[in-house]
Amino acid sequence: MNYFIINASVVNEGEIFTADVFISNGVISKIVGKNETFRPENAQIIDAKGKYLIPGVIDEHVHFREPGMTVKADIYSESRAAVAGGVTSYMEMPNTVPQTTTQALLQEKFDLAAEKSLANYSFYIGATNDNLSEIVKTDPTMVCGVKLFMGSSTGNMLVDNASVLETLFRESPCLIAAHCEDEEIIKRNTLYYKELVEKHEIVADANLHPLVRTEEACYRSTEKAVALAQKTGARLHVMHISTRAELLLFNPDTPLVDKKITAETCPHYLLFDDRDYAHLGFAIKCNPAIKSAHDKRAIWRGVKDGYIDTIGSDHAPHLREEKFTDSYFTAKSGFPSIQHNFALMADNFKRNNLSIADLVTLMCHNPAQLYRTDRRGFIREGYHADLAIVDMEANDLITHEKVYYKCGWTPYDGMTTRTKVTHTFVNGNLVYENGRFNEECRGERLLFRQ
């Protein structure tokens, strides 16, 4: 079906302007300015008056848990939540079961997504200490990147061999997306606080998390990754920046198109700080840890000043019983978030004197540009019609009962947003409209320019 979106406030490439957009055969066929006359035949008209039309969000950092952990999430359920949040494309991580560390296992995930995903998709191949021969086979036009864990997290895919690391940075055919935390610092801190708990000197609650996974652990590892990228010329994207110290390792003055070393943060590092552990507890336990109010303020400045290039979700579902245990040392790290990230960020960008155009740059344009995604991430004629209509005068209460995640809960329960996604188009198909899904549509595999 063709669609004609009329009276929209189009948000694109730093501007907001009134226009109509014609979607035909899966692409943006025509952008009609307010002084132009154009009325297509055989198109469903959607009146977006009073609402914003944005490029679909490209989330370069998700964990959908399939294969192997589908009791808590799967490609179908989480891509459904994604499109409800305006996310039209995602890039999923390799710490599944089995871990995605070979070309054959990577292809199996692409096959699953072709069958199940409502959004467009790509998957990282995971690096280990002994799979370089698989990494170098990766086609950079078909795969988003290589995921490198320089600190252990869910799935423990830690790469800690110095020689392997340098060779990986030299020979990777793709962008390297890195999780940076120093393993030795984390191990030392874990042992120290375990001893204090065993002596009944402290309680094993969520407040321990930023004391175990510290600013120093993040900085030392990120510093090492940046130095390796500078030495070898690799394309490096450091995921989930959580500290002020790390920001200083990046260059805000170079245009993104010329950058080889870039940084991502996530909504939770902009929304929460260590004071929130007191009332949210393990619900916001994630790796790296949410840290101080000082760090949160610095990351906001980093967003404003160009140190941060993208905002990804790090959507990472766990079952309630895995999260809400009686000890810090057993509670899983990570939480679901993809359904409400854009809405929460839109509200908070406004409060921090940033515009929806700034947010679209960080969540739509920049991921497309950084990953060299083919004809997505912008509202341009001839581009894939990945679009979302957003109401910024809504009053939407977030509750556990209203989430689409398979795990059935959200750390944002009880929060209200003024922003709400009302429609999401994927490849020209209206896959989501005000709580209703088109279950017959499937996303496409992302392709990448070189």
The pLDDT > 70 percentage for the chain reads 99
Q: Which two structure tokens, joined as six digits, stand for 372?
A: 């060299």
Q: Give the model's pLDDT for residue 450.
A: 87
pLDDT in tens, 215-241: 999 999 999 999 999 999 999 999 999
Q: Is the pLDDT at 244 greater than 70, yes or no? A: yes
- CATH for 62-370 is 3.20.20.140
The pLDDT of 48-77, averaged and rounded, is 98
pLDDT in tens, 94-144: 999 999 999 999 999 999 999 999 999 999 999 999 999 999 999 999 999
Q: Give the model's pLDDT for residue 35.
A: 82
Q: Is the pLDDT at 153 greater than 80, yes or no? A: no
- Name the helix (H) or strand (E) containing 433: strand 429-433
Q: Is the pLDDT at 302 greater than 60, yes or no? A: yes
Domains 2-53+383-394+415-437 and 62-370 share a fold: no
Q: Is the pLDDT at 156 greater than 70, yes or no? A: no
pLDDT in tens, 341-400: 999 999 999 999 999 999 999 999 999 999 999 999 999 999 999 999 999 999 999 999
Report the DSSP beta bridge partners of residue 416: 397
Q: Is the pLDDT at 292 greater than 70, yes or no? A: yes
Q: How is the chain split into domains, by residue range? A: 2-53+383-394+415-437, 62-370
pLDDT in tens, 266-278: 999 999 999 999 9
Cis peptide before 67 (omega within 30 of 0): yes
- CATH for 2-53+383-394+415-437 is 2.30.40.10
- Strand 176-179 to 146-149 pairing: parallel
Helices 215-232/162-171 angle, 10° precision: 50
**Distant-in-sequence contacts of 382-385, Cβ < 8 A, 24+ apart:** 382/27, 382/28, 383/27, 383/28, 384/26, 384/27, 384/28, 384/120, 384/427, 384/428, 384/444, 385/3, 385/23, 385/26, 385/27, 385/28, 385/425, 385/427, 385/428
The pLDDT of 309-313, averaged and rounded, is 98
* pLDDT mean across residues, the chain: 97
Q: Give the model's pLDDT for residue 36.
A: 87
